Structure 1
Amino acid sequence: MEVEREALIRRSHFSETEQQIMPHQKFSSFFGDGAYVLVPQAPTFWMQGENGMTRGQTNDIYNVALMALIQDFVKSNPKIDPKRIYVGGCSNGGYMSLKLILEHPDYFAAGYISALAYNNEFITDTQVQSIKNVPIWFVHSKDDSTTKPDETVVPLYKRLKEAGAKKTSISVIMTTLLTLPDFMVEKIITILVTGLGSTRMPM
């Protein structure tokens, strides 16, 4: 008898946006009877390198151990469907989510990344080619002065599309919001679940 298997969602640096999206009925229904959720925490911050903070120019000190944790969690919970493992996070967590996808492009079913803190200039063309078929939804605030979109997500998104990515989506919000209006939550969920392409949502 085949056992029904469930998805695994790996989150880091849980954002206010995710707190609106994750419990939403439309999003929850995508996972049927439920899903496993893994929320690992770093002792310091995910972007820590051996000599300070990294934005991709050097390796961080956590991604190897974090991937081992995810794989061990999947192995310890046989009801998890290994073909439905999703990775996502915000800012520091967005950096780590992309790092895991770059290092293991065939492992994750999709990624959802908010306020990406991984600088585009440190991602090689070979890496872009390796992840172009991974469904990824990016969301970013245009006025973000910390994880600047023109240095992170915007050029990366363009490179992915130029490489032939068909399941990469981007939502650019014109200003930072702690709480999104209902119509934007609905739009983001639709993009995440169905992969409709890029969209700009002006405020």
Structure 2
Amino acid sequence: MTNKPLSREFYSFIIFFLSILCIISLIQSVALISIGSSVMGLQSSDSWMWLAIAVMVITNGALIRYLLHHGYYLAATACAVSCASAFFHYLLILNREWRVFYQEHYHAVASLIFGTAVLWGLSLVFTKAGEKRWLLLSGVLTVIFSLFLAVLFFLYFEAGEGSTKLMIDKISRWVTLFSLIAPFCLLIHFRLEEKRLPITDNAPAQTIPALLKLAAFVGLLFLGFNFSVEALSRSRPYKPSTTELRRSQLVDAYHFVDKSGDSLPYRLLKPFDYDSTKRYPLIVCLHHGGAHGNDNIQQLSADPAPFLMEPGNRAKYPSFIFMPQSPQGIGFSGAYGNASVDSLVFRTIRQLQSRLPIDHKRIYVLGISGGGYGSWHFISAHPEIFAAAIPICGGGDPKYGPKLVNVPVWAFHGARDKLAPVAHSRDMINAIRKAGGKPKYTEYEYAGHGIWDNVKRENIMEWMFAQHKD
């Protein structure tokens, strides 16, 4: 341990960056409480996360220097390991190639994050660093909140019902917000340390630390503003446009309610020139992530619904079009253990079959993005129901490949998709082909996530309606 104290400028530097980090974490936590996982879909999300990474690395670098200066070597090592795991976590989210690994090993990554956070907290409690009251309190709080979040995380994936998952998810968001007390304790510690320093003549500010402060402040000002405004806009109640309201008047609105009280809002469009004495195909249309809610309107404007509702398509391919709406925080697929509304959709399909003249040999499913994942999941869970599926920029579990050998599939994906890794479609197609199936697959080499304009120019309706179960 060295007797020479760190400079006042150093304490000013670490206090500044700890404050910036707390503000960033606060903004991010409030956004998560307001809009949940939709945060990842914000246009400003990537730049905001890069700012968070930069501030986190600088802050922890300064913190490690402080710990080493005072001889808290175990705490410094634990801090470095915790920072490295958090950095690795951010990179997995931001890099589209690595995101596949992240999604497939989410439990392992989460265990690493929680484990290193607990290690960091314990290092402040059971080492010499614990002699400092506010460091000790920060360590205790870090351990408590990290363990609490870890328990909630694993309970979430063990829960079966979507409503239970939503409740656990909501609790975890609030716990994340309150966990900011731990770094705030660090902030108090360094403020008190700075006050204990002897008053000396102010030395001129060093250029690099000053530039880092300026960059962090400007980044927080502009990127934080953009992120906050976009998150606030996404959190506001949905207000349908005049066109959407006009469109909604043409499609019947319903709610399926099961015995437990869970409900599924959906729209049902009857065939063009409907004749109750005839049997018609049923198209299950699954919306993308931007149409979640309970207003029972947004899914009408989410692709591929407008395409299916076009008068020309309705006249040429008469069918019932079933358009369920998934609530916020719940998907159609339950991919990677997330909450799913799939059971309600299947029960609604059975109810529709019992009261409408639906041709049970011609039930089709198609969807985009979240709806693409849902399409893969639906045919994997009940291949006996569907005569064909068109999953667009989605994915599923390759282990179901053998079950899908006899299900006609035409999948689409953009090779440069940053939201839904193209490997997810490739893996499903390869699994089916390996099992002896012959699915169709179209990959657009230079396209990203928005491939619907390309897909709708393909003969998907003609192909789909040519399929039927034996």
Q: Mark yes or no: TM-score above 0.5.
A: yes
* 1:22-41 C-alpha deviation (Å, 9 max, x unpaired): 63857853x3xx21001000
Q: 2:341 aligns with which of 26, 47, 62?
A: 62
**Structure having the higher Rg:** 2
Paired position in structure 2 for 1:165: 437
Paired residue type of 1:165: G
Structure 2 unaligned spans of 5+: 1-276, 289-301
Distance 1:190 1:65, change over 3 A: closer
SS in 2 for 1:88: strand
Structure 1 residue 72 displacement after superposition: 0.8
Say if 2:286 is the partner of 1:12: yes
CA distance in 2, matches of 1:4, 1:112: 25
CA distance in 1, matches of 2:380, 2:341: 14
CA RMSD of aligned residues (A): 3.0
Q: 1:140 aligns with which of 397, 402, 413?
A: 413
* 1:22-63 C-alpha deviation (Å, 9 max, x unpaired): 63857853x3xx2100100011254389xxxx53x3263311
Say whether the 8 Å CA contact 2:304–2:367 is kept in structure 1.
Answer: no
Which has the bigger relative contact order, CA under 8 A and spacing at least 6? Answer: 1
CA distance in 1, matches of 2:307, 2:349: 24
Paired position in structure 1 for 2:310: 23
Moved more, 16-25 or 3-12: 16-25
Give the TM-score of the pair, scaled to structure 2. 0.34
- Superposed, 1:81-120 pairs within 5 Å as 81-118=359-396
Paired residue type of 2:287: H
Paired position in structure 2 for 1:201: none
- Superposed, 1:166-185 pairs within 5 Å as 166=438, 168-173=439-444, 174-176=446-448, 177=450, 180=453, 185=457
Paired position in structure 1 for 2:351: 72
Q: Which runs of 4+ in 1 moved over 6 A?
A: none
Structure number having the greater helix percentage? 2
SS in 2 for 1:60: coil
Distance 1:38 1:26, change over 3 A: closer
Paired position in structure 1 for 2:320: 36
Say whether the 8 Å CA contact 2:364–2:464 is kept in structure 1.
Answer: no
Distance 1:154 1:123, change over 3 A: closer
Say whether the 8 Å CA contact 2:284–2:322 is kept in structure 1.
Answer: yes
CA distance in 2, matches of 1:143, 1:18: 24
Paired position in structure 2 for 1:200: none
Paired residue type of 1:64: S
Structure 1 unaligned spans of 5+: 196-203
CA distance in 1, matches of 2:376, 2:365: 9
Say whether the 8 Å CA contact 1:6–1:35 is kept in structure 2.
Answer: yes
How many equivalent pairs are there? 177
Say whether the 8 Å CA contact 1:169–1:191 is kept in structure 2.
Answer: no
Paired position in structure 1 for 2:151: none
Say whether the 8 Å CA contact 1:89–1:97 is kept in structure 2.
Answer: yes
Paired residue type of 1:39: M
SS in 2 for 1:185: coil
Paired residue type of 2:347: A
Paired position in structure 1 for 2:42: none
SS in 1 for 2:337: coil
Structure number having the greater strand percentage? 1
SS in 1 for 2:422: coil
CA distance in 2, matches of 1:39, 1:58: 24
Paired position in structure 1 for 2:215: none
Paired position in structure 2 for 1:123: 398
Structure 1 residue 123 displacement after superposition: 3.4
SS in 2 for 1:180: helix
Structure 1 residue 186 displacement after superposition: 3.8
Give the TM-score of the pair, scaled to structure 1. 0.73
